[in-house]
């Protein structure tokens, strides 16, 4: 096999389709492509601090794919695509740490279901990305990896918990990546890093082998620089998993011709979008908050411009649409009930590979990052009796509220004939380090508490050059329509641009 020249393929902002075309016409191989991404990680990640672990087996994997390509052609739609995983998704060949020193040596016996599907599609796992430790928060700080920085301003937060993946993909340290979302984690990180993120409908993507935070809210999702790449990742990740029965609900929801078939450049033409104004503007009222009304206004201005662009592309906008009672929405939080129960079940599933027996033991090591440790204090997470949850009236009432919320949102969308509801995923831009990103300004609960799908798209930049995202929430299993809308907006607006700090390497 001939070796392609190093300058035959432009790496920055390359897409899955670009990789496939370059392999097909001999400009790159899986191995040479991997090497170039590894060179970028070596050059840039000291500044970004997004990568926790590199995969020692990645180069051999790429070589095997190259050999198979010579014999059989592409092994799948992600053949040779360098992919970064959030480090709460099990990998049999690397530690899965959730960013915690206490789990630093935890190597699961098998891949997470979504990781297995990505590898089956031909992906090359470059490594694992930093995250908010245990996924508990929205900063991306961990005892194992420290603090990840925003790709567009190294003095600011990337949001979280999937901030490592988002910052790395934004800086072109991998072609695509994965995150997981309990509340905001595949939505605010892409918003803060000028990316596309998709939170799938509950039941579309398996949770097996993902370090849990809240069983009724957790899901994995794609992070990418383009809507097309997010669709290709979702094609690979979605599917029925007999070990996660909730995926039976989505078994027939994946289009026979895949999500990529719904990439319509005129996807906004004739669409009906409702603006959920109740999620605009500053939501918190703490005097200690690091954000101001001016910060929220800066985000609102960008989102307003995005709404105008959608109208110009043919969408009918209903503004405003009153969606839900925000107090009811917040009263449906169940993480404090489920975290310890679900985490302990995950450890039990690891068997002898588990480094600890419970979340309480992990906490008691004293090795958790201080800002995450402080979130445990007063939350009562370790005081919940998991064995009595099925009889816990407070917990059961919150679950019932979720059913009511989903019914209310879907009814509003049907009555107004809406394809999607629109709002900012965060009401404010990324804050400066060492401040902590305020959770009160994350509009994550509408999707998380109803189980309805959402897509986040680059909406533009503030006057300070900080990325802003716009979120579209759809009906149950309406990912095809959301991708149509997203692709139409992407094509008509063109807001994605790479961060200046992480350009092409001189010797690439």
Positions annotated as catalytic residues are: 86, 161, 185
**Confidence band, pLDDT 50/70/90 cuts, at residue 250:** very high
Query: Going by DSSP bridges, is the β-strand pair 51-54/124-129 parallel, antiparallel, or unpaired?
Result: antiparallel
Is residue 5 over pLDDT 70?
no
**Residues 369-405: tens digit of each pLDDT:** 999 999 998 789 999 999 999 999 999 999 999 999 9
Mean pLDDT of the residues in the chain? 96
pLDDT for res 409: 98
Residue 150: count of CB within 10 angstroms of its CB: 30
Query: Measured in whole angstroms, how far is the alpha carbon of residue 199 from the centre of its chain?
Result: 7
CB contact burial 73-97 (16+ within 10 A = b; e otherwise): ebbbbbbbbbbbbbbbbbbeebbbb
Cα torsion through 275, 281, 282, 283, rounded to 10: -20
Instruction: Find the distance separating the first CA and the last CA of the chain, reported in whole Å.
Output: 21
What percentage of the chain exceeds 70 in pLDDT? 98
Is residue 19 over pLDDT 90?
yes
Tokens of 268: 């906004």
Is residue 410 over pLDDT 90?
yes
**Confidence band, pLDDT 50/70/90 cuts, at residue 1:** very low
CA dist 120 and 244 (Å) reads 19
Could you give all domains of the chain from N- to C-terminal order, each with its CATH number?
A: 16-499 (3.90.1300.10)
Is residue 276 over pLDDT 80?
yes
pTM listed for this prediction: 0.97
Q: Which residue has the higher pLDDT, 63 or 284?
A: 63
> Could you tell me the CA-to-CA distances from 276 to 326, 424, 429, 440, 503 in Å, in that order?
11, 9, 19, 17, 37
Q: State the DSSP string of 313-377.
A: TT-EEE-------HHHHHTT--HHHHHHHHHHHHHHHHGGG-S-S-HHHHHHTS-S-HHHHHHHT
């Amino acid at each position: 096999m001939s070796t392609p020249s190093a300058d035959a393929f432009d790496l920055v902002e390359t897409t899955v389709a670009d990789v496939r075309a370059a392999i097909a016409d001999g400009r790159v191989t899986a191995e040479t492509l991997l090497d170039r991404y590894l060179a970028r990680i070596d050059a840039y990640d000291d500044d970004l601090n997004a990568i926790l672990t590199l995969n020692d087996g990645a180069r051999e994997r790429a070589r095997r794919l190259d050999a198979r390509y010579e014999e059989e052609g592409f092994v799948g739609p992600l053949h040779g695509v360098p992919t970064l995983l959030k480090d709460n998704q099990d990998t049999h060949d690397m530690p899965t740490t959730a960013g915690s020193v206490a789990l630093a040596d935890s190597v699961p016996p098998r891949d997470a279901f979504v990781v297995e599907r990505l590898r089956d599609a031909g992906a090359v796992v470059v490594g694992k990305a930093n995250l908010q430790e245990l996924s508990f928060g929205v900063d991306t700080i961990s005892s194992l990896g420290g603090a990840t920085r925003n790709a567009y301003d190294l003095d600011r937060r990337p949001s979280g918990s999937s901030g490592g993946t988002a910052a790395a993909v934004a800086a072109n340290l991998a072609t695509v990546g994965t995150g997981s979302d309990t509340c905001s984690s595949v939505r605010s990180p892409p918003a803060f890093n000028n990316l596309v993120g998709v939170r799938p409908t509950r039941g579309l993507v398996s949770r097996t082998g993902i370090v849990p935070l809240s069983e009724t809210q957790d899901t994995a999702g794609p992070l990418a620089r383009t809507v097309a790449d997010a669709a290709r990742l979702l094609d690979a990740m979605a599917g029925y998993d007999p070990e996660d029965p909730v995926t039976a609900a989505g078994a027939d929801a994946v289009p026979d011709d895949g999500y990529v078939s719904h990439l319509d450049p005129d996807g906004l033409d004739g669409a009906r979008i409702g603006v959920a104004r109740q999620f605009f503007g500053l939501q918190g009222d703490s005097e200690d908050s690091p954000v101001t009304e001016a910060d929220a206004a800066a985000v609102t201005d960008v989102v307003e411009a995005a709404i105008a662009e959608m109208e110009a592309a043919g969408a009918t906008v209903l503004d405003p649409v009153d969606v839900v009672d925000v107090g009811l929405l917040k009263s449906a939080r169940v993480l404090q009930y489920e975290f310890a129960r679900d985490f302990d079940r995950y450890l039990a599933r690891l068997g002898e590979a588990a480094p600890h027996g419970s979340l309480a033991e992990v906490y008691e090591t004293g090795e958790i990052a201080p800002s995450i440790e402080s979130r445990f204090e007063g939350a009562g997470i370790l005081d919940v009796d998991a064995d009595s949850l099925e009889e816990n009236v407070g917990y059961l009432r919150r679950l019932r509220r979720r059913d009511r919320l989903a019914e209310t949102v879907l009814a509003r969308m049907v009555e107004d004939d809406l394809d999607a509801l629109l709002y900012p995923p965060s009401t404010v831009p990324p804050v400066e380090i060492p401040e902590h990103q305020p959770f009160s300004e994350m509009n994550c609960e509408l999707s998380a508490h109803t189980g309805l799908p959402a897509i986040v798209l680059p909406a533009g930049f503030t006057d300070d050059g900080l990325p802003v995202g716009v979120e579209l929430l759809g009906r149950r299993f309406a990912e095809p329509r959301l991708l149509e809308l997203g692709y139409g907006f992407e094509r008509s607006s063109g807001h994605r641009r790479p961060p200046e700090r992480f350009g092409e390497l001189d010797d690439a």
